[in-house]
């Protein structure tokens, strides 16, 4: 039977993890996969996470099944961080724990496929390379539109307006509401307001991907576009990831939320989300969610976590400033937010940067600014110049 399979190309982004490890040049710089690095170049377990793990080690007395929805206390404790304390959502929010943000995207895609299989998913490009395959594998039709010009590093807002204006009622619009992956280019609040108006006018459903909250300008600021959009629309999906802001990557910690019109629809959404989880992964892995819950239940651990997250955010923005200061052509990097910026480059150039300079970035020209040190800025700029990127 397996001779019937066609081989798939390896995921080129994830292949960078091994390629970087295998490179023994001392000056190599990893701007590849989206993980945070500290001033020592490590991706440490956060102090709050260590404290929570210690607490769990001492107090957790069972690992019995929780059910397809996972730990609902974890799901509830994230809500004020994401949604604030707006009473508007009382009775309108359904939530389920998922294996990372990818699990939330996949579950949300299947929920749309179940509720409205003819819905199109509008995807502004460039986007995270896994977005399109996730929606397509849930048999949804993905309609891409360019939302940014990488040469000028500017949003092409008229293409956003045109894509949303020509969508049909019930179509789904994937939105990165902070720290855009891969460009770092976020809409202004004014543009978000216009997007919210278009969503309402054309009765479209936002599917918000929130994987980097706290790593742009801080937890509250990064939540502002999400809250503004949810304030305007009647229905929405939110895929949330704790992988980056709690540094829990391989634990796979996330949640899918649905904002519905009324309590009746919430119940329907909840039962479908649980049913879809059951046939996908049956029940989500617990450890990461237990850590997040433990932190958020403890004011002391929460304070430590918030401080660490603020330090991470400051460091990333410091790296952005260092790179911008090293080259006037890269000034835009300091205006962008989150882990990534995306240079306009061909794959051959990204390959040459790895081969000739030991600088690893995605083939698309995406750089993870959290992977560098301020002192690396000169070497990065020199390599980009040598390869004709600047
Ligand atoms: C990234 O974009 O680098 C991360 O989200 C890792 C991944 O799964 O692609």
Q: Are residues 329 and 379 in the same domain?
A: yes
33 lines ligand 1 (CB under 6 A): yes
Q: Are residues 38 and 99 in the same domain?
A: no
Tell me what pLDDT residue 5 has: 97
Q: Are residues 119 and 204 in the same domain?
A: yes
Nearest to 186, CA basis, from 222, 139, 144: 222
Going by alpha carbons, the residue nearest to atom 4 of ligand 1 is 34
Tell me what pLDDT residue 212 has: 98
30, 98, 103, 128: which to mutate for ligand 1, most atoms within 8 A of CB? 128
**Domain count within the chain:** 2
Q: How far is 362 from 347, CA to CA, in rounded Å?
A: 8
Q: Which residues are known catalytic residues?
A: 128, 209, 244
Task: For residue 54, tell me if it sits in a domain.
Answer: no
C-alpha distances out from residue 192 to 175, 231, 242, 340, Å: 10, 12, 24, 20
Distance, CA 37 to ligand 1 centroid (Å)? Answer: 14
Tell me what pLDDT residue 318 has: 98
Tell me what pLDDT residue 89 has: 80
Which ligand 1 atom minimizes the distance to the CA of 11? 9
Q: Are residues 217 and 205 in the same domain?
A: yes
Q: Are residues 12 and 38 in the same domain?
A: yes
Q: How far is 103 from 107, CA to CA, in rounded Å?
A: 6
* Domain final position from 267, 297, 327: 297
Give yes or no for a cis peptide into 126 (omega within 30° of 0): yes
Task: For residue 34, tell me if it sits in a domain.
Answer: yes
Task: For residue 59, tell me if it sits in a domain.
Answer: no
181 lines ligand 1 (CB under 6 A): yes
| Environment class of 139 (CB within 10 Å of its CB; exposed 0-12, middle 13-18, buried 19+) | exposed
Q: At what angle do helices 189-201 and 219-232 cross, to 10 degrees?
A: 20
10, 11, 13, 106: which to mutate for ligand 1, most atoms within 8 A of CB? 13
Q: Are residues 20 and 93 in the same domain?
A: no
Tell me what pLDDT residue 87 has: 76
Residue 8 is classified by DSSP as: P
Task: For residue 271, tell me if it sits in a domain.
Answer: yes
- ipTM, two decimals: 0.94
* Domain final position from 253, 271, 297: 297
Q: Are residues 309 and 283 in the same domain?
A: no
Distance, CA 191 to ligand 1 centroid (Å)? Answer: 26
- Structural domain boundaries enclosing 94: 65-297
Which ligand 1 atom minimizes the distance to the CA of 181? 2
Tell me what pLDDT residue 86 has: 80
Percent of the chain with pLDDT over 70: 100
Angle of CA points 321, 323, 329, to nearest 5°:
105
C-alpha distances out from residue 200 to 59, 90, 169, 278, Å: 48, 20, 10, 33
Distance, CA 33 to ligand 1 centroid (Å)? Answer: 6
Place 88 in a pLDDT band, splitting at 50, 70 and 90. Answer: confident
Position 239 pLDDT exceeds 90: yes
Least confident of 88-97, 109-118, 233-242, 271-280: 88-97
Task: For residue 343, tell me if it sits in a domain.
Answer: yes
Position 90 pLDDT exceeds 80: no
Q: Are residues 158 and 210 in the same domain?
A: yes
128 lines ligand 1 (CB under 6 A): yes
Place 291 in a pLDDT band, splitting at 50, 70 and 90. Answer: very high
Distance, CA 300 to ligand 1 centroid (Å)? Answer: 30
83 lines ligand 1 (CB under 6 A): no
34 lines ligand 1 (CB under 6 A): yes
Please state the rounded mean pLDDT for residues 113-120.
Answer: 98
327: domain CATH number?
A: 3.90.1150.10
Position 194 pLDDT exceeds 80: yes
Q: pLDDT for 39-73, tens place per residue?
A: 999 999 999 999 999 999 999 999 999 999 999 99
Q: Calculate the average pLDDT of the chain.
A: 97
Please state the rounded mean pLDDT for residues 125-133.
Answer: 97
34, 133, 182, 367: which to mutate for ligand 1, most atoms within 8 A of CB? 34
Task: For residue 251, tell me if it sits in a domain.
Answer: yes
Note the pTM of the prediction, 2 decimals: 0.97
Going by alpha carbons, the residue nearest to atom 5 of ligand 1 is 34
Which residue is it, tokens 């007395």? 61
Place 7 in a pLDDT band, splitting at 50, 70 and 90. Answer: very high
Which ligand 1 atom minimizes the distance to the CA of 211? 5
282: domain CATH number?
A: 3.40.640.10
* Domain final position from 297, 325, 345: 297
Task: For residue 345, tell me if it sits in a domain.
Answer: yes
Q: Are residues 79 and 178 in the same domain?
A: yes
CB atoms within 10 A of CB 348: 10
Q: Are residues 305 and 290 in the same domain?
A: no
Q: Are 244 and 76 in contact (CB under 8 A)?
A: no
Q: Are residues 164 and 31 in the same domain?
A: no
Place 236 in a pLDDT band, splitting at 50, 70 and 90. Answer: very high
Q: pLDDT for 322-376, tens place per residue?
A: 999 999 999 999 999 999 999 999 999 999 999 999 999 999 999 999 999 999 9
Q: Are 257 and 238 in contact (CB under 8 A)?
A: yes
Task: For residue 307, tell me if it sits in a domain.
Answer: yes
Q: Are residues 257 and 306 in the same domain?
A: no
Which ligand 1 atom minimizes the distance to the CA of 182? 2
Place 120 in a pLDDT band, splitting at 50, 70 and 90. Answer: very high
């Amino acid at each position: 039977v397996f001779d019937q399979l066609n081989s798939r190309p390896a995921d080129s982004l994830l292949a960078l993890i091994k390629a970087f490890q295998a490179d023994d040049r001392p000056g190599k710089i990893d701007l590849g996969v989206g993980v945070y690095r500290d001033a020592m170049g490590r991706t440490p377990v956060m102090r709050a996470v260590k404290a929570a793990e210690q607490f769990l080690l001492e107090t957790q007395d069972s690992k019995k099944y929780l059910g397809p929805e996972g730990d609902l206390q974890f799901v509830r404790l994230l809500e004020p961080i994401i949604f604030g304390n707006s009473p508007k959502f009382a009775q309108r929010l359904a939530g389920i724990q998922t294996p990372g943000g990818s699990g939330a995207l996949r579950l949300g895609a299947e929920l749309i496929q179940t509720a409205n299989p003819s819905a199109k998913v509008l995807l502004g490009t460039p986007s995270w390379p896994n977005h399109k395959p996730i929606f397509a594998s849930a048999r949804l039709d993905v309609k891409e539109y360019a939302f940014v010009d990488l040469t000028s590093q500017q949003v092409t807002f008229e293409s956003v307006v045109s894509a949303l204006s020509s969508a049909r009622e019930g179509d789904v619009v994937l939105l990165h509401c902070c720290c855009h992956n891969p460009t770092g280019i976020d809409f202004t609040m004014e543009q978000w307001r216009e997007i919210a108006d278009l969503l309402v006018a054309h009765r479209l459903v936002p599917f918000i991907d929130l994987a980097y909250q706290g790593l742009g300008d801080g937890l509250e600021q990064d939540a502002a576009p999400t809250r503004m959009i949810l304030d305007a629309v009647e229905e929405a999906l939110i895929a949330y990831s704790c992988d980056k802001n709690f540094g829990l990557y391989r634990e796979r910690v996330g949640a899918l939320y649905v904002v519905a019109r009324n309590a009746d629809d919430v119940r329907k959404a909840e039962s479908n989300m649980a049913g879809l989880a059951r046939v996908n992964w049956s029940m989500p892995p617990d450890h990461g969610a237990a850590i997040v819950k433990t932190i958020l239940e403890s004011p002391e651990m929460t304070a430590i976590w918030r401080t660490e997250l603020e330090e991470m955010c400051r460091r990333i923005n410091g790296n952005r400033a260092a790179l911008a200061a090293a080259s006037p052509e890269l000034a835009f990097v300091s205006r962008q937010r989150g882990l990534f910026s995306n240079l306009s480059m061909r794959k051959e150039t990204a390959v040459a940067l790895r081969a000739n300079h030991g600088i690893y970035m995605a083939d698309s020209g995406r750089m993870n600014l959290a992977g560098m040190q301020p002192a690396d800025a000169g070497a990065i700029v020199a390599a980009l110049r040598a390869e004709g990127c600047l």
